[in-house]
A and B are shown apart, each in its own frame.
Chain A
Amino acid sequence: MIPVKGGYAVDVPIINVSERARREHASVWSTFKAFAVTLRHLFKSLFKGDTPTIYYPEETRPYSERFRGTHILTVRDDGSLKCVACYMCATICPAECIYIEAGEHPNPEIEKFPERFDIDMMRCIYCGFCVDACPEEAIIMSREHHQSVYTRGETIYGIEKLMARPGIDAKGPGYRPNRALAEAKIFNKKDQSVCVFPSVVDERHPAVLYESMIRRRGSEQS
């Protein structure tokens, strides 16, 4: 294999396929070679237990921490929904699969909460925009993706189904880009006694301080 400059930006090795085919010309000897490979793998998997098969669904591959599976509605410490029914997720949703009905919360500090929060899982495209848009980290995604149901109606997940489902704890949360902000307690104004915005904005989520980003970018350019 001689590296040839063939008009590419980098050097690309070029494989001469016809020459390689001549070398591997079929013969009786290469037949036995192939049997040897098969038998080697047979004994490996029989006695060493080195098998690539995953016994799904009892076993699964490890999923990425950013896996975008079924949504979860997160809760406050007292068990109530974090969601304030701001409709940001329903607004950004490109599949228009989120339906929210807001209600008046008895606590004027919270003021607004969702009376209904439905996601049409058949329409959802799992893009994760709703998670990006959420200003309270009230909606995140899990690593679960088992969604088989018996009727079509069950594919519309309501609040109860989105709040807590079996299997979530086992696999853990998935896509959760605003986690740092939630842990910095930016969302909870009661806990916040120091001005954390300017320090956080340097490496944190851009949507929160969009305007600061723009100004920073402007000053860098000038």
Chain B
Amino acid sequence: MPKLTINGQTYDAEKGKTIIQVADEVGIEIPRYCYHPDIGVEGSCRMCLVEVKGSPKLMPSCATPIAEGMEVRTTTERVHEAVRYAMEFLLLHHPIDCPVCDQSGECWLQDYYMAHAGHDSRYPLGQKTRRLKAFSLGPLVKLDQERCILCTRCVRFTRNVTKTNEIQVFSRGHYSEIGIFEDRPLDNAYSGNVVDVCPVGALTSADFRFKVRVWFLKGTPSVCGGCSTGCNNRIDHSARPEGGGIPGYSAGDGKIYRTVGRRNVEVNKSWLCDEGRLSFHALERWPRLRAGNTSVPAVHERFEAIRKEYGDFAVAGLASATNTNEAMFLMKKYFKGNVDFRLGKEEQLYQERQDDLLRRFDKHPNTRGALDLGLTAFNGLRGLRERAEKQQVRGAWISFHPQLVGDDAPEIIDELRRLLAALEFSVVSTTHDFEWVARASAVLPMAAWSEEVGTYTNYAGRVQITNRAVMPPGEAHHLHHMMAELLFLSGVPTPHEPAAIFEALSREVPAYDGLDYDAIGLLGAAALPQPVEVTR
């Protein structure tokens, strides 16, 4: 453990780290463009220069490993001057089109100009180098070469992370520019990340481009609901009604504009796959279900009547692996364990990798959570349908959340149709107004992903909190609220708050022993490894 001094304060640091890594850990801010913790060191932007005692020149802190007794200063006049000159060179040919640039508001050039530079341009605007603007690199990414500062973060992302090498630096010296080969567009499954890593407005997202200015957005840390990997993301959504109440244009319930990767070294580093990044659009694919045709007490009365006549096991629940642990826990309690969640072969797929970076074949975020809770009473949807046809099950609550990535298999929808036809009394709580839902005896609108608070357990058993970014539409309710009300009606007082429900859950489920929302926090916490037994 070498000891080093930064700005007069001595720190113990792990051997092999660089100065900028140590500074990040202890909260000392060093400006940087090209350095990104997850894509390696380049040392091209010259912004992170620091003064090291004994070295005649300033050292780039991103590429300088720490050594015993090193004395680093980040705030001297020499460092400030070097950063100011670096900024002036980086901005020399900058087109200053902040009004049209999508990055403005979260642009590192703007931030560091205000913090470290503040110079007037010495170069006439009309004589600045003109380059390619608004050029499509691929389906999701647009390039503006005038704004590029050649930090090569995007080049290194495609080289080191996706290993596809689509983006390259072409030409040399003043003529160097970022580009792609003519026949190889940037269309890998992780292309959207280059927009996240670009510190300036050179790479912008074709999906998000010009939709809204970023300072109108509010970020909510959440977890992607696209597959069982459970990547950490930030949902950027409208923070206030727009247009001053101009009829038809006010975003009352809130609207999601984009999701960006949130750094979690244990799960997804800083990345998101393109499918997951755009998965929030899935919520707009069908019309939302805004009102139901029954109430929770009425449903409870029917279930009680069936239970009295045919016994407890005539009533069953079918959860969805997109429901939160809290909702499924209460569902299991209300249906006395007679609950399953499987629509297809989720329990076989949820750990299977789709590629060697993030994606997994199971497109549900909480399969592991359902398995941990032991929601395997019968053989999934097929088992429930068979039981219903044999009249063993007469009433069922079906909670259906569509896959955010890809389509639900048509066989699943067929099975659901047959199940609804076979049941005497069926309640469907779902998010959208699907055509098959009309066959159910009763329909209740349910809050979708990004509209409720709860925990998901990812493929590796990491419990993570998914947060509410927008309000559920119309009369839609959280599933855990509806379940808590059902339990209350059957004489079991139950908390409505997700944190309180999770507290009860962690007491009863051994895998989650000792966990609570504070311990899970923003980055999640690993559940205790438990052997998961699956009956099929």
Q: Which A positions have Cβ atoms within 8 angstroms of B?
A: 84-88, 91, 93, 95-99, 102-104, 108-112, 118, 120, 123, 135-136, 156, 189-198, 201, 209, 211-212, 214-215
For the complex with contacts A209-B120, A211-B118, 18 further pairs of A-B residues with Cβ separation under 8 Å are A84-B100, A85-B210, A86-B99, A93-B244, A96-B242, A99-B242, A99-B243, A103-B210, A108-B133, A109-B133, A118-B243, A120-B243, A189-B95, A189-B126, A193-B124, A197-B121, A212-B118, A212-B120
Complex contact B215–A91 (CB within 8 A): yes
Complex contact B120–A197 (CB within 8 A): yes
Complex formed: what's the CA distance from A84 to B104 in Å? 14
Residues of A within 8 A of B246 (CB): 97, 99, 118, 120, 156
Complex contact A88–B127 (CB within 8 A): no
Complex formed: what's the CA distance from A99 to B242 in Å? 7
Complex contact A190–B126 (CB within 8 A): yes
Q: Mark B96-128, 1 if CB is under 8 A from A, else 0.
A: 111110000000000001100010111111111
Complex formed: what's the CA distance from A16 to B95 in Å? 69
B130 to chain A minimum Cβ distance, whole angstroms, is: 9
**Within 8 Å of chain A (Cβ to Cβ): is B175?**
no
A77 to chain B minimum Cβ distance, whole angstroms, is: 17
Closest 3 CB pairs of A and B: A99-B243, A86-B99, A96-B244
Complex formed: what's the CA distance from A211 to B246 in Å? 36
Known: A84-B99, A197-B120, A212-B120. A111 touches B134 (CB 8 A): yes
Complex contact A104–B209 (CB within 8 A): yes
Complex formed: what's the CA distance from A87 to B210 in Å? 10
Complex formed: what's the CA distance from A118 to B250 in Å? 13
Complex contact B99–A192 (CB within 8 A): no
Residues of A within 8 A of B118 (CB): 211-212, 214-215
Residues of B within 8 A of A196 (CB): 124
Residue of A85, A87, A215 ringed by the most chain B CB atoms within 10 A: A87
Complex formed: what's the CA distance from A184 to B181 in Å? 41
Report 27 cross-chain contacts, Cβ distance below 8 Å, ordered by A residue: A85-B100, A86-B213, A95-B244, A96-B242, A96-B245, A97-B243, A97-B244, A99-B243, A99-B246, A99-B249, A102-B211, A108-B132, A108-B133, A111-B97, A112-B100, A120-B243, A120-B244, A123-B245, A189-B96, A189-B125, A189-B126, A191-B126, A192-B125, A193-B124, A195-B124, A195-B125, A197-B125
Q: B133's closest neighbor in chain A, by CB?
A: A108
Residues of A within 8 A of B124 (CB): 192-196
A118 to chain B minimum Cβ distance, whole angstroms, is: 6
Residues of A within 8 A of B99 (CB): 84, 86, 88, 135-136
Complex formed: what's the CA distance from A105 to B121 in Å? 28
Complex formed: what's the CA distance from A109 to B130 in Å? 10
B104 to chain A minimum Cβ distance, whole angstroms, is: 8
A93 to chain B minimum Cβ distance, whole angstroms, is: 8
Interface SS majority for chain A: loop
CB-CB contacts below 8 Å: B221-278 with A: 241-246, 249
Q: A109's closest neighbor in chain B, by CB?
A: B133
A122 to chain B minimum Cβ distance, whole angstroms, is: 9
Candidates B98, B128, B133, B216; contact of A111 at CB < 8 Å: B133
Complex formed: what's the CA distance from A135 to B98 in Å? 10
Q: B114's closest neighbor in chain A, by CB?
A: A211
Residues of A within 8 A of B210 (CB): 85, 102-104, 112
Complex formed: what's the CA distance from A190 to B128 in Å? 10
Q: B123's closest neighbor in chain A, by CB?
A: A195
Complex contact A96–B126 (CB within 8 A): no
B210 to chain A minimum Cβ distance, whole angstroms, is: 4
Residues of B within 8 A of A104 (CB): 134, 209-210
Candidates B127, B133, B243; contact of A96 at CB < 8 Å: B243
Residue of B122, B134, B216, B241 ringed by the most chain A CB atoms within 10 A: B134
Q: A153's closest neighbor in chain B, by CB?
A: B247
Complex formed: what's the CA distance from A111 to B209 in Å? 11
Complex formed: what's the CA distance from A197 to B121 in Å? 8
Complex formed: what's the CA distance from A196 to B132 in Å? 25
Q: A201's closest neighbor in chain B, by CB?
A: B120
Complex contact B243–A198 (CB within 8 A): no
Residues of A within 8 A of B216 (CB): 87, 91
Complex formed: what's the CA distance from A130 to B418 in Å? 60
B87 to chain A minimum Cβ distance, whole angstroms, is: 12
Complex contact A91–B213 (CB within 8 A): yes
Q: B250's closest neighbor in chain A, by CB?
A: A99
Complex formed: what's the CA distance from A197 to B120 in Å? 8
CB-CB contacts below 8 Å: B505-523 with A: none
Residues of A within 8 A of B121 (CB): 195, 197
Residues of A within 8 A of B95 (CB): 189
A96 to chain B minimum Cβ distance, whole angstroms, is: 4
B217 to chain A minimum Cβ distance, whole angstroms, is: 12
Known: A99-B242, A104-B209. A111 touches B100 (CB 8 A): yes
Residues of B within 8 A of A191 (CB): 126
Complex formed: what's the CA distance from A109 to B131 in Å? 10
Complex formed: what's the CA distance from A103 to B134 in Å? 13
Q: B244's closest neighbor in chain A, by CB?
A: A96
